[in-house]
């Protein structure tokens, strides 16, 4: 899911804003974007860049961290209230973040594996062509 509210302060495509910019390529999320991204975070559907920006904002902004806690409490806590399961907000938040990080690592692994398979396929094709040419 791509939410177009994201502000890119890295300078790409911007003529102003020089000075106290974050590192090149790093995206900075504002509070409104963070709030808009909460449902996607809970559904584990933020892309890697958005997930990094989301988690960074959560660490740096206590108001948004609290907003996320409330949303998790409503989203997950009330559901468990119905079933009578135990609910620990801190554990739930940590579990959601851990799951998101694992999904990101899995995507990176798949991307790397796809690259290696492609390289292997090209190597195999070159070997077949060379054998064909030398016969």
Could you tell me the smallest distance in angstroms from the CB atom of residue 51 to Zn ion? 16
**Structural contact between residues 15 and 37, judged by C-beta atoms closer than 8 angstroms:** no
CB burial of residue 122 (10 Å; 0-12, 13-18, 19+): exposed
> Is 38 an interacting residue with respect to Zn ion (CB under 5 A)?
no
> Is 28 an interacting residue with respect to Zn ion (CB under 5 A)?
no
> Is 31 an interacting residue with respect to Zn ion (CB under 5 A)?
yes
**Residues within window 45-84 making contact with Zn ion, judged by CB under 5 A:** 61, 64
> Is 32 an interacting residue with respect to Zn ion (CB under 5 A)?
no
Nearest Cα neighbor of 99 from 47, 53, 44 is: 44
Binding-site residue total for Zn ion (CB under 5 A)? Answer: 3
Cα separation, 102 vs 100, in Å, equals: 5
Q: Kindly list the residues in this chain that would bind Zn ion in the complex (CB under 5 A).
A: 31, 61, 64
């Amino acid at each position: 899911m791509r939410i177009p509210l994201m502000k890119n302060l890295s300078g790409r495509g911007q003529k102003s804003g020089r000075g106290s910019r974050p590192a090149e390529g790093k995206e900075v999320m504002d509070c409104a974007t963070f709030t808009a991204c909460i449902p996607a975070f809970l559904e584990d559907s933020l892309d890697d860049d958005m997930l990094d920006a989301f988690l960074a904002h959560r660490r740096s902004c206590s108001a948004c961290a609290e907003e996320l806690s409330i949303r998790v409490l409503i989203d997950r806590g009330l559901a468990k209230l119905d079933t009578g399961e135990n609910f620990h907000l801190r554990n739930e938040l940590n579990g959601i973040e851990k799951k998101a990080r694992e999904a990101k690592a899995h995507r990176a692994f798949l991307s790397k594996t796809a690259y290696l398979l492609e390289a292997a396929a090209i190597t195999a094709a070159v070997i077949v062509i060379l054998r064909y040419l030398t016969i």
